[in-house]
A and B are shown apart, each in its own frame.
Chain A
Amino acid sequence: MDKARLLDIFRHMILIRRFEEAVYDFHEQKLFGGHYHLYIGQEATGAAVMASLGAEDRIFSTHRNHGHLIARGVDPKNALAEILNRADGTNGGRGGTFHIADASVGMPHTSALVGGSVPLAAGAGFAAKLKKSGGIGVSMFGDGCFEEGVVFETLNLARMWELPVIFVCENNTPGAVLKSAGGNNTSNLPEGRVIQIPEALGMECHKVDGGDAEAVDVLFADCAARVRATGQPIFIEALTERWPGNYFSFPSMVTGVTQVSMAWDGGSISGEHQEWFLNHDPVLRFARQLLVSGVANFGDIAGIDVEVTETIKAAKEFAQSSPLPGTDSVYAHVLAGEG
Chain B
Amino acid sequence: MTVMTHAEALVAAIRECMDEDENVALVWGSLMGVGGNNDHVEHIKADFADRIFHPPISEAAIAAIATGAAMDGVRTIFPMGTASFMFRAWDQIIHEAGAAHYMSNGAVSIPAVFHVVHGLRGGGSVQHSQSPQSMLWNAPGIEIAMPSCPADAKGLMRTAIKSNNPTVFIDHQKLNKRSGEVPEGAYDIPFGVADIKRVGADVTIVATSLQVVHALEAAETLSAVGIEAEIVDLRSLVPLDEEAILTSVGKTGRLLVVDEAPPRCSVASEVVATVAEKGMDLLKAPPVRLNRLPVHVPANVALEDFVGPNTDRIVEAAKTLCG
Contact, CB under 8 Å: A108 / B60: no
The range of chain B's interface size is 35 or more
A75 to chain B: closest CB distance in Å? 14
Q: Is B38 among interface residues, defined by CB-CB distance under 8 A? A: no
Contact, CB under 8 Å: B105 / A126: no
Name the residue on B nearest A104 (C-beta).
Answer: B107
Q: Which of A92, A108, A149, A339 has the most CB of B within 10 A?
A: A108
Q: What B residues does A111 contact at CB under 8 A?
A: 95-96
Complex partner residue of B61 from A108, A150, A333, CB under 8 angstroms: A150
Contact, CB under 8 Å: A119 / B71: no
Q: Please report the total number of A residues contacting B with Cβ < 8 Å.
A: 46
Contact, CB under 8 Å: B56 / A58: no
Contact, CB under 8 Å: B107 / A108: yes
Please report the C-alpha to C-alpha distance between residue A113 and residue B60 in the assembled complex, in whole angstroms. Answer: 13
Q: What A residues does B64 contact at CB under 8 A?
A: 116, 118-120, 122-123, 150, 154
Q: What A residues does B71 contact at CB under 8 A?
A: 58, 103, 108-109, 120, 123-124, 127
A315 to chain B: closest CB distance in Å? 19
Please report the C-alpha to C-alpha distance between residue A334 and residue B164 in the assembled complex, in whole angstroms. Answer: 12
Q: What A residues does B165 contact at CB under 8 A?
A: 335-336
In A46-70, which residues have CB < 8 Å from any B CB? 58, 60
Contact, CB under 8 Å: B69 / A130: yes
How does the 8 Å CB contact mask read for B82-112 relative to A, with 1 for contact and 0 for none?
0000000001100110001111111111100
Please report the C-alpha to C-alpha distance between residue A133 and residue B143 in the assembled complex, in whole angstroms. Answer: 29
Contact, CB under 8 Å: A336 / B101: yes
Please report the C-alpha to C-alpha distance between residue A334 and residue B61 in the assembled complex, in whole angstroms. Answer: 24
Contact, CB under 8 Å: A94 / B105: yes
- Among A155-163, A169-177, A259-267, the stretch that binds chain B is A155-163
Please report the C-alpha to C-alpha distance between residue A160 and residue B65 in the assembled complex, in whole angstroms. Answer: 13
Contact, CB under 8 Å: B74 / A109: no
Please report the C-alpha to C-alpha distance between residue A101 and residue B107 in the assembled complex, in whole angstroms. Answer: 10
Contact, CB under 8 Å: A124 / B91: no
Complex partner residue of B65 from A58, A123, A149, CB under 8 angstroms: A123
Given contacts A126-B69, A333-B101, contact A157 B56 (CB under 8 A): yes
Given contacts A126-B69, A156-B58, A336-B109, contact A108 B104 (CB under 8 A): yes
> Which positions in B face A, CB cutoff 8 Å?
23, 25, 51, 53, 55-56, 58, 60-74, 76, 91-92, 95-96, 100-110, 140-141, 143, 163-165, 238-239
Closest 9 pairs between A and B when the two form their complex, measured CB to CB? A123-B68, A119-B64, A92-B105, A153-B61, A120-B68, A127-B72, A153-B58, A333-B106, A336-B164
Known: A58-B72, A156-B58, A334-B140. 14 other contacts (CB 8 A): A58-B71, A103-B71, A104-B107, A108-B107, A108-B108, A109-B68, A116-B91, A119-B67, A120-B64, A124-B72, A131-B73, A153-B56, A154-B61, A157-B61
> Which positions in A face B, CB cutoff 8 Å?
58, 60, 91-92, 94-95, 99, 101-104, 108-109, 111, 113, 116, 118-124, 126-128, 130-131, 133, 137, 149-150, 153-154, 156-157, 160-161, 332-339
Q: List 19 A-B contacts (CB under 8 A).
A: A91-B103, A91-B104, A92-B105, A101-B104, A113-B95, A116-B64, A123-B64, A123-B65, A127-B74, A131-B74, A133-B72, A150-B60, A150-B61, A153-B56, A154-B58, A154-B65, A333-B105, A334-B141, A339-B164
